[in-house]
Structure 1
Amino acid sequence: MPGIFHQSAKVADKRKAGSYLSYDQIYNATYPFSLEPLPYEHNALEPAIDAKTMEIHHGRHHQGYINNLNNALENHSDLQEMTLSDLVSRLNELPEEVKTAVQNHGGGHLNHVIFWNTMSPNGSSATGSFAEAVNRDFGSLENLKAELKRATGVFGSGWAWVAAEENGRLKVVQTSNQDNPLTDGLTPLTGVDVWEHAYYLNYQNLRGDYVDAWLDLVHWEKVSEIYEENLAG
């Protein structure tokens, strides 16, 4: 698995409220899990994503996943030292009585932290070795975006991801519900939430319009940084 899983289980440094989380901070968080503030204001992504949707999505839906994950682990002290990434990547090794809760709520927590932390009000451009990998594996960033949009056709609720294999090769994958590519041995770099609660207030059934708007928000520079630090070389 990518080397990030073998870093310290505890994240010692404290971040300023409203700043972006590193993947080290995201992946290596441990029980009890908590809801971090967004790295921007609720209205910062308008008109693509409205403030009300952000408030409900972040403050209620995401908080709900965290509450349920903590509740599931409350009586499993042997699992409480596992990092969030280990819980999700080693899902099939977990006891049956907590496996489904971790799949749904641990996945939900991880998916949403990645989602919030790879968006930016003004978007950004791919750089460095990630940009090179995009050109190698997709031909261009526009081709990658088109493939990602096609992947948002997942039936029902789910996600579409840009993910990387251990050797750094990029691929676009779908996951259902709150499943995460980590469980299949891939490193998620960015993903779009296509559950209806992510877009329905503004877009109703027009999922494609929401995805088009989201593609303009992707913080490709942050994605490039994640790739460079964990997968390049």
Structure 2
Amino acid sequence: MIELPPLPYPKDALAPHISADTLSFHHDKHHKTYVETANKLIVGTEYEKLPLEQIITRAAKNAEHKKIFNNAAQAWNHNFYWHSMAPNGGGQPQGDLAKKIEADFGGFDKFRETFLAAGAGQFGSGWVWLTLANGKLKVLATANADNPLTHGEVPLIVSDVWEHAYYLDYQNRRPDYLATFFDKVANWKFAAENLAHPENATKAA
């Protein structure tokens, strides 16, 4: 059984950057529907008793189970996204994450530029991630429900670029939403914890 965890903060905690209306609509409607649909789809299948991350990686390899993958992955992606934001977030990461960003991107400003460009340039619906791949940080943009678990990469932080993540607050201004996510609500402590303990990063859901 896949569960719908509560938001890790009150629905108005990210305002004015992400409104309570957006979080209510996004979590209580979209995220809930993915969870409910995935649970219906896995009844009586090989996936029924598997952990969520295993459902995702196994279903991704079977084209006949695309609906299971889409809904299970979206359930996982959304919970990772909630943890990728925090009240009084934003700013710049510290410690080992900051050093790693400097080493792998050539500085925080270059990382920010790369992340925002990847998110804005993702055609249609999807996600933009900071991941750890083969020991190096990278920015990964994925379409629809796809995520780093299917690429063998460790997710550190993510921004949702499906329209329902930002349309109530930003209409069609995805770049503005992404800049606000990055500068005002990004949970760099969460990203740092995932970098320090990559074995736990996929268990955020």
On whether the aligned pair clears a TM of 0.5, the verdict is: yes
The one-letter code sitting in structure 2 at the alignment partner of 1:44 is A
Task: Deviation per CA, 1:114-173: give whole Å up to 9, x if none.
Answer: 1001111111542333222111111222221211100112111111111111x3211001
The one-letter code sitting in structure 2 at the alignment partner of 1:67 is E
SS at the partner of 1:171?
A: strand
More off after superposition, 83-92 vs 38-47: 83-92
Separation in 2, partners of 1:53, 1:64: 15
The one-letter code sitting in structure 1 at the alignment partner of 2:78 is H
What TM-score comes out, normalization by structure 1 length? 0.79
Separation in 1, partners of 2:9, 2:185: 12
Separation in 2, partners of 1:92, 1:107: 9
Tell me if 1:107 matches 2:73: yes
Separation in 1, partners of 2:52, 2:99: 30
More off after superposition, 118-127 vs 177-186: 118-127
Equivalenced residue count is 196
Tell me if 1:58 matches 2:24: no
Alpha carbons 2:60, 2:69 under 8 Å: kept: no
The one-letter code sitting in structure 2 at the alignment partner of 1:183 is T
The one-letter code sitting in structure 1 at the alignment partner of 2:76 is L
SS at the partner of 1:90?
A: helix
Unaligned runs of 5+ in 2: 200-205
Separation in 2, partners of 1:130, 1:36: 27
Match of 2:162 among 195, 210, 222: 195
Comparing both structures, which one devotes a greater share of its residues to helix?
2
Partner residue, 1:139: 106
Separation in 2, partners of 1:223, 1:154: 21
Task: Deviation per CA, 1:170-223: give whole Å up to 9, x if none.
Answer: 100111111112111111111111111111112111111111111121110111
The one-letter code sitting in structure 2 at the alignment partner of 1:91 is A
